[in-house]
Amino acid sequence: MWSQASRRLTNFLGFSFLALCISLPWIVQPSVFAQTEWQNPDVGWLQEVMPAADRFSSKQGEPPVFRAFKTAAENAEPELIGYVFTTPDLPPVQLGFSGPIDTLVGMDLQGRLTGVKILHYRESYRTLRGDFIEDSGFPEQFRNKTIEEEFRVGRDIDGMSRATISSWAVARGIRNAARRVATTYLADSTFVAEANFETEALFSLQQKSWEELIESGFVKQLSVPLDDRTELRLFVAYMGHYRLGELLVGATDYSNADREASIRVDEGSMLLIGIGGNAPRLRQLRLAVLQNGSVYPNRRNRFVFAGSGKEGKIAGQVQFAAVMILDPAIDIAQPFSVIYDTGPITGEFSEFVSVDYQLAPEVLALIQGPTLPDELSAAEGMASSDLTESAEEPIASWIARNLWSGLIALVLILILTIATIRRKGVN
């Protein structure tokens, strides 16, 4: 009885396994088979993103790049004219709505992009619109952009309709990868000179603990006693530059906050608001900035989430972090105060508590580019590796790239199940 039942079950599982193998190419979309194209791109694709080149090296170096050469005359030595690279080779990977978007990028020796090609992506929107990234012409606008530019959707990049997250992932992925390549291979470029200056400007902040940042005045505390005898504790810091944002809240949370801010408003600097204390919640409409007698109330569309305080200098110091996007009329080079309305009517600011804030010289130097204070000049060239983005890929990215591992595991489970049933049937 058991033997007959086990044979039926075995046959069923066997036919199921066979059906799985036959249908595998349809279950796994053709794009999945192409998800490793970034590892060995076709030579024609290299030519597509670097049209002036007539030959390419193999992928080599750290970070990995294809060197692009051009031969001026028949017997002349090939001349290096640029580099071609793929975004997955330069993590952390920027995730679109459903996963990473692998991109091939060409860049000349001046840090100017010569072409962009989307290699692979698995966005859910693709099932409705097809290859909407390529069809939209979105990649074409990156040609001739320099890596000193912002690459911000809504500002110097036109996003794709109804695909803001994907637009942001492509733009940020290209920018970050190109800047990392330039840092290694374009030592004489304008960008590297600016990056070295930024590293110098940030060095003193990088070495400080959270407590030392508070002591230095870069981070300010504001305690707000509430009527229910709870206390709201706010931490305020300027992070209107991407290096400051990554220093304070980490690269991922800063990127997400920067993306959301760009969607909501066209301009304005970012001010970090770390939230702690035992109050149940922050009432964001009670926040404002006071400068030269003028009050600039916070607006809902100018306040975005900036993570749970798990990365960067703020890690473990707050319950969560947010960003207040400052009104463009506020002069960040001049002192201002962050105020919290404690009066009976929200937004009147008849009563409030406040904390004064002024950007430190090294922060102004980072933003405006003047000569650094003498005490900071000794730090030049140091700690540049500390400011490099983490090379660890997000778990979601790993899953998206390793679908075959899951399928192989499923097949092994089926085989082991069949073998176990057969053995019990024999016994």
Q: What is the DSSP code string of 110-174? A: TSBEEEEEEEEE--TTHHHHSSHHHHTTGGGGGTT-BTTS---BTTTBPPPTT-HHHHHHHHHHH
Q: Which of 219, 331, 337, 342 is nearest to 273 (CA)?
A: 219
pLDDT in tens, 124-161: 544 445 566 877 788 899 999 999 888 988 778 887 87
Q: Which of 385, 415, 405 is nearest to 196 (CA)?
A: 385
pLDDT value of residue 123: 55
Q: Which helix (H) or strand (E) holds 412?
A: helix 403-426
Residue 63 has pLDDT above 80, yes or no: yes
Residue 366 exposed, middle or buried by CB count within 10 Å (0-12, 13-18, 19+): buried
User: Residues in the chain, how many?
Assistant: 427
Residue 74 has pLDDT above 90, yes or no: no
SS3 354: strand
pTM score over 0.75: no
Residue 213 has pLDDT above 60, yes or no: yes
Can you tell me the distance from the alpha carbon of 253 to that of 277, in angstroms, rounded to the nearest whole number?
21
Residue 27 pLDDT grade (very low, low, confident, very high; cuts 50, 70, 90): very low
Least confident of 33-42, 216-225, 327-336: 33-42
Token pair for residue 42?
């076709």
Token pair for residue 189?
């470029």
pLDDT in tens, 338-383: 999 999 999 899 999 999 999 988 888 888 764 444 443 444 333 3
Break the chain into its structural domains and give their ranges.
2-31+399-426, 39-188, 208-366
Q: Torsions phi, psi of 106, nearest 5?
A: -110, 140
Q: Which of 138, 183, 155 is nearest to 387 (CA)?
A: 183
pLDDT value of residue 367: 81
SS3 181: helix
